[in-house]
A and B are shown apart, each in its own frame.
Chain A
Amino acid sequence: MPAVAQAKKIITISGSTSVFPLETQLARKWIKTKKGKGVGFKILQGGSNVGISDVSKGRVSIGASSRDPANGDPGGLVFTRIARDAICIITNNSNPLGNITQDTISKIFLGPTYTNWNQVPNAPISGSIDPIGRAATSGTHDAFRNIFLGGTNQGSFVAAKSSNGLVQQGVQSDPQAIGYVSLAFTNGVHVVQYNGVDCTLRNAASFQYGGVRSFYFVTRGAPVGKVKKFINWVLHSNKANKIIGSDWVPLH
Chain B
Amino acid sequence: MLGALACVVLALIAGMIFFVFQKAWPSFTHNGFAWFSPWAGGNVDDELVHIFESPGEPSQYVYTMHAWPLIYATVLITFCAVVIATAFALLSSMFIVEFAPEGIRRVLEPVVRLLAAVPSVIYGLIGILVIVPFVGNHLVTSGQKDSVAGVIQLNGFSIGVGILILTVMITPIMIAIVVDALRAVPVGWREGSVSLGVNRWRALWTVSVRAARPAIVAAAVLATARALGEAIMLSMVTGSVGFAPNPLDGLIFFYEPGRPLAATIVDNAEGLSVVPFAQTLYAYAAVLLISAGFLSFTGWYIRRRLRRYTLSPI
Contacts and interface: CB of A to CB of B under 8 A. Distances in A.
Interface residues of A, number: 39
Contacts of B241: 156-160
Nearest to A112: B150
Given A135-B240, A137-B52, A162-B240, A49 B151 contact: no
Interface string B140-160: 001001100111110111000
Interface stretch (B131-139, B192-200, B248-256, B305-313): B131-139
Interface stretch (B80-88, B161-169, B268-276): B268-276
B49 A136 contact: yes
B108 interface: no
B239 interface: yes
Given A46-B270, A47-B270, A131-B153, A173 B136 contact: yes
A153 B48 CA distance: 12
A173 B149 CA distance: 18
A53 interface: yes
Contact of A115 (B43, B128, B150, B269): B150
Interface in A137-161: 137-138, 153, 156-161
B38 interface: no
Contacts of A156: 43, 45-46, 241-242
Interface string A68-104: 0000111000000000000000000000000000000
Interface string A154-186: 001111111000100110011111000000000
Nearest to B45: A156
B145 A128 contact: yes
Contact of A161 (B55, B146, B240): B240
Among all A-B residue pairs, the 3 with the closest Cβ atoms: A47-B270, A137-B271, A53-B273
Contacts of B150: 111-112, 115, 128, 157
A176 B155 contact: yes
B186 to A, nearest CB: 51
B214 to A, nearest CB: 40
A136 B157 contact: no
A183 B33 CA distance: 45
A176 B157 CA distance: 13
Interface residues of B, number: 43
Contacts of B49: 136, 153
B78 interface: no
B146 A173 contact: no
Contact of B153 (A53, A157, A166): A157
B142 A136 contact: no
Interface in B10-58: 43, 45-46, 48-49, 52-53, 55-56
A127 B270 contact: no
B236 interface: yes
Contact of B270 (A49, A111, A116, A161): A49
Nearest to A56: B273
Interface in B102-152: 128-129, 132-133, 136-137, 142, 145-146, 149-152
A136 B153 contact: no
A175 B137 contact: yes
A138 B53 contact: no
A136 B52 contact: yes
A52 interface: yes
B130 to A, nearest CB: 9
Nearest to B57: A72
